Amino acid sequence: MKNKKLILLPAAAAERMCPLRPEDRLLCAVGQFEPRRMNMWYPVRSCFLTAQSIDEANAVFKRLRKTVLHSAQAMRRFCAANPEAQRHDFWCPTYDFAYAGAVNGYRLRCMVNHGDFNYFFVVYRNGRTINESEAA
């Protein structure tokens, strides 16, 4: 991850190549920039987390915090530069992005608003779905 550039794709295009299914969610984070920066993590299906998937998720989130999620202004600039990622079915300007890591899949939803929360970051399990693994 150190030398690999993090390329976020509009989620609609990325899902045509590799769907991110709700049943494959491992972790979710909700974050805000103001009045005080906060990230709140919620385990979803954490029993499927491995040390490798946690390490990659931490590296991806750290990279996002240095770039797209560095500040509210940085996030707004990134979203404005990617209008094809905009979702028009939300109450505020909302942009969905996806990233395929070596271990996990990721979705970043940016909510360009003041107050409330500003982003939603989801870590997905790659490969077979969790339901397929449970059946095996």
For the chain, the average pLDDT equals 84
Alpha carbon distance 96, 86 (integer Å)? 7
Residue (of 94, 110, 123) closest to 20 by Cα position: 123
DSSP secondary structure string for all residues of 24-40: GEEEEEEEE-SSS-EEE
Alpha carbon distance 108, 64 (integer Å)? 10
pLDDT tens-digit series, residues 27-36: 899 898 887 8
Residue (of 117, 118, 122, 108) closest to 41 by Cα position: 122
Pairing mode of beta strands 104-111, 119-125: antiparallel
Sorted by where each begins, the domain ranges of the chain are 9-135
pTM above 0.75, yes or no: yes
Residue 79 near residue 100, CB atoms below 8 Å: no
